[in-house]
Amino acid sequence: MEFGLVLQTDPPASAVVDLMRRAESAGFRHGWTFDSAVLWQEPFVIHSRVLAETDRLVVGPMVTNPGTRTWEVTASTFATLNEMYGNRTVCGIGRGDSAMRVAGRAPNTLARLGEAIGVIRDLAEGREALVDGRPLRLPWVREGRLPVWMGAYGPKALALAGRVADGLILQLADPYLTEWMIKAARTAAAEAGRDPAALTVCVAAPAYVGDDLAHAREQCRWFGGMVGNHVADLVARYGAHSDVVPAALTDYIGRRQGYDYAHHGRAGNPSTDFVPDDIVDRFCVLGDVAAHVAKLRALRDLGVDQFAVYAMHDAKEAVIEVYGEQVIPALR
């Protein structure tokens, strides 16, 4: 199992770069950031600096979307970073939650997302692709490589990821739901004639190490609220009691009253008071080092290739240090 670090691009950008540099030294292999241009600083500018100040770290957004930038611009950005730093990027992509909704737009459709995945990858790797019906190619790309990993929760999105993406991003660390999601995506991959085992699986969730579970839960409760935005979309589509979406994913949002993106991804988010302790415990990785290792081993045994640590809490440096000294060695 490999490990990644996920950060918001809050100013100062130098702090993000410093934490990514520390993460690489601690044994993390991926550096991820949020991508929501209104709420935080522009990630790709910061990615360039992170790549310049690290040697092996693979960098990307968790996640971008097909709506806030044109597809050729997204592809050119990745291709430029790859040319400068040696194919050390990955494109995490989804329908768009905060980036789209904060700007007053609806998330992208799955059809648009699926088309964008192929176009962005082809352009970034130097192949011709159709953009709005017009054939385009980036003529300066040489030996570019861009894996595209798709974020998904629901049955249709998981199936799309299995059919077209190189990797699957699951933003929760619940073993039961992880198993269900991996199975759905890999079944779709097999049905599409792809090798299911070739689909990389990344689980991303907050990790907080310590014995004070009450404090850890309060630092990570925001995550249940963020996941709840996507779950609310699933409930709107499939109903509150569906035979295609597990109740273990949908039941907890019954008391959800809405969401204020001004506090998105932050400890103390007042829009997350509906999230119960058991959801925080299931969706996140909390407790002492032994508890972290045990849960991550369970996820690894289900087919998870990478665990990406969301470090949006008051112990960013500590979780990097503890993972580097104790957790990562136990899982490698």
- Each residue of 46-78: pLDDT tens digit? 999 999 999 999 999 999 999 999 999 999 999
E-assigned strand segments in the chain: 2-7, 30-33, 58-61, 91-93, 129-131, 134-136, 148-151, 167-170, 200-209, 285-287, 306-310
What is the tens place of the pLDDT at every residue in 140-179?
999 999 999 999 999 999 999 999 999 999 999 999 999 9
What is the tens place of the pLDDT at every residue in 256-302?
988 888 889 999 999 899 999 999 999 999 999 999 999 999 999 99
Mean pLDDT of 186-202: 98
What is the tens place of the pLDDT at every residue in 104-151?
999 999 999 999 999 999 999 999 999 999 999 999 999 999 999 999
Looking at residue 258, its pLDDT comes to 85
Instruction: Please return the burial class of 278, using the count of CB atoms within 10 Å of its CB with bins 0-12, 13-18 and 19+.
Output: exposed
Model confidence, pTM: 0.96
As a whole number of angstroms, the distance between CA 221 and CA 32 comes to 20
As a whole number of angstroms, the distance between CA 234 and CA 240 comes to 9
Average pLDDT across the chain, whole number: 96
Residues in the chain, overall count: 332
Structure-token pair, residue 23: 């993460």
As a whole number of angstroms, the distance between CA 113 and CA 107 comes to 10
